[in-house]
A and B are shown apart, each in its own frame.
Chain A
């Protein structure tokens, strides 16, 4: 059982790392701000989510699990809002010039 949980941790975290890499590549390589925003605010949240899933078996207790899930939820909320706000800022800037 514990070996299976360890395997889950490793697979989920490796998948998470892949999405962090993808987000960074997107931020660096995409041609315009809106596509960079698109790459960034989705990929790294998925990455964080997968890492949280991977760490859940090691959380130790209900409070630990709750905290991990809360971290993910809060970052999701922040990223979703920031994506909206920055997209608005980019659009205003584009229309004013």
Chain B
């Protein structure tokens, strides 16, 4: 069973790593962000599988941390890509 779980983790890493081609090629920033998001989910899944296979204590907590923060990079990206509109709103509110 351990071998099966580790092979599954390896397979997931392989697939999401293929998805990284989108970070390389883009074309847009959104595509790059999506590939990073996919890698985040994949790394979480691989971590759970490795944790279950090797029984490393605390490894599930690492997955929990990754899951908690999974949205952060994308939120920062959308926030910094969007400001023009928000500023307009603000100026309208001030006047």
Contacts and interface: CB of A to CB of B under 8 A. Distances in A.
A27 B68 CA distance: 23
A16 B45 contact: yes
A89 B70 CA distance: 18
State the majority secondary structure of interface residues on A. Answer: helix
Interface of B: 1, 4-5, 8, 11-12, 15-16, 18-19, 21-22, 28, 30-31, 33-35, 37-38, 41-42, 44-45, 48-49, 52, 60-61, 63-64, 67-68, 70-71, 74-75, 77-78, 81-82, 85
Most buried by A among B22, B33, B71, B82: B71
Most buried by B among A52, A74, A78, A86: A78
State the majority secondary structure of interface residues on B. Answer: helix
Contact of B30 (A13, A16, A89): A89
B71 A82 contact: yes
A82 B52 contact: no
Interface in A24-82: 24, 27-28, 33, 36-37, 40-41, 44-45, 47-48, 51-52, 55, 58-59, 64, 67-68, 70-72, 74-75, 77-79, 81-82
